[in-house]
Amino acid sequence: MRINSSDFVGKISGAPLVTEKKTGESFIDTLKNIIDETNSTIKKADQAALDLASGKSSNIHEAMLNLQKADISMRLLVASTNKLIEGYNELMRLR
């Protein structure tokens, strides 16, 4: 499976998946931002599920959308992490 930079361009839950590169922003900062955005998406989905289960909300459609957004964000993060690890291992193998 190939991951292209265009895979990271887009929006999930209204927040940009990857922010535009600012002057001086490092790769680590960008990675931390993506992890934080994924975490907030998951927390939002958890809260929507809890609200639905407790009866605070009766909007199952919104809860399911939030859960799917969280699932997609997490899958993308895991796939990206796996690619980073594969790249690192490849570099270590070439040394």
The per-residue pLDDT for range 37-95, each reduced to its tens digit, is: 999 999 999 999 999 999 998 899 999 999 999 999 999 999 999 999 999 999 999 98
| pLDDT given for residue 22 in this prediction | 59
**Is 13 within a domain?**
no
Using CA atoms, how far apart are residues 90 and 95, in angstroms rounded to an integer?
9
**Is 4 within a domain?**
no
What length is written for the chain? 95
Task: Output the pTM of the full model.
Answer: 0.67
- Specify the number of domains making up the chain: 1
Q: Which domain holds residue 46?
A: 25-94
**Is 14 within a domain?**
no
**Is 6 within a domain?**
no
**Is 11 within a domain?**
no
**Is 48 within a domain?**
yes
**Is 10 within a domain?**
no
